[in-house]
Structure 1
């Protein structure tokens, strides 16, 4: 794998209110313990970012999305490897989400996100995403699916 290859995939889900599905990591991860970030993780050998995103989302939250529901929105160097973020608007509630990794995985009001201790990767993403046209578009997509 070359330096330019993505090594992690994460999933940003937005609900019909515009709230974001975030994971509060526990103290155990080597990268960004005790911080808030997106569901996601390492890509397996031969896996595309899209395949990894779908797999990680199901493993960590129990949510199953079709690959055609996700759109790649960003790829950046998070300091520990390249992260590819895929996003979707989704008609979901906290009751739909299981927590199989971390302290909790919940929908969070975007107005409170700047107050949270964020993973490096989430900090990069949210520096431009909150209040963007993309956030608005994903919110509308989620509302249309509700």
Structure 2
């Protein structure tokens, strides 16, 4: 079992940051997904989430800015493995122009009303559906919860 960590950033409108993957990755090519990736051997999931977010977007958040959304097991049909994803979320006062895309075609904030209509990765479909419209999503989109990245 491979473990992954991923992050959903929520802006002041309640929009969520998603990555449009390109054709290169083995898992979920050409799909919309969370920013995140494999945990290093022995790596704490929260530390991995912070690391992956920074590697893919240059957004630096402190671990205490992230809230656990869910830990889910899922099967990746591309690899034939049963894996685990640790999903975190954080409120930010950022816009698309503040995000540097180091992987995939684009990483942008998406209107939650339109997100379910995207061609989502399995992990994004499983994790995003219950998150959108949840009390946690609503709280993170409130202006009191917003954080700015250094």
TM-score by length of 2: 0.89
Alignment correspondent of 1:22: 18
Check if 1:50 corresponds to 2:52.
no
Which contiguous aligned blocks of 4+ residues in structure 1 show a shift greater than 6 angstroms? Answer: none
> Comparing both structures, which one devotes a greater share of its residues to helix?
1
Contiguous gaps of at least 5 residues in structure 2? 77-82
Give the aligned partner of residue 111 of structure 2. 109
What is the root-mean-square deviation of aligned Cα atoms in Å?
A: 1.5
Quote the offset at 1:64 in angstroms: 0.3
Deviations 1:86-134 (A, max 9, x none): 1111111111100000000001111111110000001001221111111
SS of the equivalent of 2:37 reads strand
In structure 1, C-alpha distance between the alignment counterparts of 2:146 and 2:4, rounded to whole Å: 29
TM-score, normalization: structure 1? 0.92
More strand by share: 2
